[in-house]
Amino acid sequence: MSATRIGASPNRVGGIDRVTGRNEYAADIRLPGVLEARLVALDCARARIISIDASEALRVPGVRLVMTAADLPQPVPRFGPQFEDRPVIAVGETKYHGEPVAIVAAETKDAAEAAAGLVHVEYEELPAVFTLAAALDSAAPLVQEPALRPNDRLASTNVLREHRIGWGDVDAALADVVVENRYTFPMVTHFAIEPHAFMAAPDGDGIAVWSTIQHPNWLQKVIAKVLGLPLSKVRVFAPDPGGGFGGKQHAKLEPLVAFAALRTGRPVRLVLSLEESFQAARRASCEVRVRTGVNRDGALVFEDIAADYLIGAYADIADRVVGKGSYPAAGPYNVPSVRILARSVLSHTVPSTAFRGFGNPQVNWAVESNLDEAARAIGMDRLAIRLRNLAKKGDAFIPFDTPADGDWRQAVERAAELIAWDTPLPPGHGRGLAVGIKSGPTTGLSYSTVRLLGDGSVIVLAGTSDMGQGARTVFAQIAAQELGAPLDWVTVVMGDTAIVPYDQQTSASRSTVLMGNSVLQACRSIQGQLAAMAARLHGLDEAQVIVDQGVVHLPDRDLSVLDVLTRGLGRLGGELTGNGEVRKEADPSHPLSGAAAFFEFNCTAVEAEVDEETGDIVIVKHVTVSDVGKALNPLQVTMQDEGAAIQGLGHTLMEHYIYDEKGRIRNLGAIDYRIPTSMDLPLELLSEAVENEDGPGPYGSKGMSEGALLCVASAVGAAVRDATGVAIRDLPLTPERVWRALRDRPMP
Partner 1 sequence: MSESAAAFQIELTVNGHRRAIEVAVHHTLLDVLRDDLGLTGAKECCLVGECGACTVILDGRTVDSCLVLAVEADGSEITTVEGLADERGLGPLQQAFLDKGAVQCGFCIPGQLLSAHALLADNPHPSLPEIQEGLAGNLCRCGCYRQITDAVLATAERAER
Task: Please select the residue that binds partner 1; options are 239, 298, 501, 676, rule is CB under 8 A.
Answer: 676
**Angle at alpha carbon of residue 210, lines to 192 and 225, rounded to 5°:** 110
Task: Please select the residue that binds partner 1; options are 19, 50, 70, 396, rule is CB under 8 A.
Answer: 19
* Alpha-carbon distances, residue 472 vs 467, 478, 521 (angstroms): 10, 10, 17
Stretch that binds partner 1, among 107-115, 429-437, 604-612, 651-659 (CB under 8 A): 107-115
Phi, psi of 339 (to 5 degrees): -135, 120
Structural contact between residues 318 and 80, judged by C-beta atoms closer than 8 angstroms: no
Bridge partner residues of 626 (DSSP): 602, 689
- Asked if 33 interacts with partner 1 (CB under 8 A), we say no
Please state, in angstroms and rounded to a whole number, the distance separating the CA atoms of residues 420 and 606: 10
Please state, in angstroms and rounded to a whole number, the distance separating the CA atoms of residues 690 and 404: 15
- Asked if 55 interacts with partner 1 (CB under 8 A), we say no
**Edge-to-edge strands of the sheet including 47-53?**
93-94, 47-53, 120-125
In DSSP notation, 599-636 reads EEEEEEEEEEEE-TTT--EEEEEEEEEEE-S--SSHHH
- Asked if 108 interacts with partner 1 (CB under 8 A), we say yes
- Asked if 111 interacts with partner 1 (CB under 8 A), we say yes
Task: Please select the residue that binds partner 1; options are 172, 671, 744, 748, rule is CB under 8 A.
Answer: 671
Task: Please select the residue that binds partner 1; options are 74, 151, 589, 678, rule is CB under 8 A.
Answer: 678
Side-chain-side CA neighbours of 628 within 13 Å: the count stands at 26
In DSSP notation, 541-596 reads -GGG-EEETTEEE-SS-EEEHHHHHHHHH-TT--EEEEEEEEEE---TTSTTSS--
At residue 383, the 3 state secondary structure works out as helix
- Asked if 635 interacts with partner 1 (CB under 8 A), we say yes
Nearer to partner 1, 558 or 684 (CB): 684
- Asked if 20 interacts with partner 1 (CB under 8 A), we say yes
Phi, psi of 220 (to 5 degrees): -55, -45
Please state, in angstroms and rounded to a whole number, the distance separating the CA atoms of residues 262 and 103: 13
Q: How far is the CB of 345 from partner 1 (least distance, A)?
A: 28
Identify whether 706 is a catalytic site residue: yes
Nearer to partner 1, 22 or 120 (CB): 22
For residue 294, the 8-state DSSP code is E
Task: Please select the residue that binds partner 1; options are 114, 226, 300, 631, rule is CB under 8 A.
Answer: 114
Please state, in angstroms and rounded to a whole number, the distance separating the CA atoms of residues 645 and 415: 14
Task: Kindly provide the residue ranges of all beta strands, DSSP E only, lying in 139-223, ordered along the sequence.
Answer: 159-167, 177-185, 197-203, 206-211
Q: How far is the CB of 647 from partner 1 (least distance, A)?
A: 6
- Asked if 300 interacts with partner 1 (CB under 8 A), we say no
Report which secondary-structure segment, H or E, holds 79. Answer: strand 78-79
- Asked if 675 interacts with partner 1 (CB under 8 A), we say yes
Task: Please select the residue that binds partner 1; options are 7, 58, 62, 700, rule is CB under 8 A.
Answer: 62
- Asked if 9 interacts with partner 1 (CB under 8 A), we say yes
Structural contact between residues 603 and 388, judged by C-beta atoms closer than 8 angstroms: no
Instruction: Pick out residues in 197-256 that bind partner 1 (CB under 8 A).
Output: 240-245
**What does the H/E/C string look like for 661-718?**
CCCCECCCCCCCCCCCCCCCCCCEEEEEEECCCCCCCHHHCCCCCCHHHHCHHHHHHH
Stretch that binds partner 1, among 15-23, 411-419, 428-436, 516-524 (CB under 8 A): 15-23
- Asked if 113 interacts with partner 1 (CB under 8 A), we say yes
Nearer to partner 1, 12 or 343 (CB): 12
Nearer to partner 1, 15 or 528 (CB): 15
Stretch that binds partner 1, among 90-98, 386-394, 412-420, 645-653 (CB under 8 A): 645-653
Helical residues (DSSP H) of 74-172, grouped into ranges:
109-116, 132-136
Nearer to partner 1, 28 or 407 (CB): 28
- Asked if 643 interacts with partner 1 (CB under 8 A), we say yes
Q: How far is the CB of 27 from partner 1 (least distance, A)?
A: 7
Q: How far is the CB of 195 from partner 1 (least distance, A)?
A: 6
Stretch that binds partner 1, among 333-341, 411-419, 634-642, 733-741 (CB under 8 A): 634-642
Stretch that binds partner 1, among 103-111, 124-132, 290-298, 409-417 (CB under 8 A): 103-111
Number of residues that bind partner 1 (CB under 8 A): 67
Nearer to partner 1, 9 or 82 (CB): 9
Catalytic one among 276, 642, 655, 706? 706
Stretch that binds partner 1, among 268-276, 313-321, 717-725, 736-744 (CB under 8 A): 268-276
Stretch that binds partner 1, among 136-144, 316-324, 391-399, 638-646 (CB under 8 A): 638-646
The 10 Å Cβ neighbour count of residue 286 is 29
Instruction: Pick out residues in 459-478 that bind partner 1 (CB under 8 A).
Output: 467-470
Which residues sit at the interface with partner 1, rule CB under 8 A? Answer: 9, 11-12, 14-25, 27-28, 60-62, 107-111, 113-114, 190-195, 240-245, 271, 273-274, 467-470, 635-636, 638-640, 642-647, 669-671, 675-679, 681, 685
- Annotated catalytic residues are 706
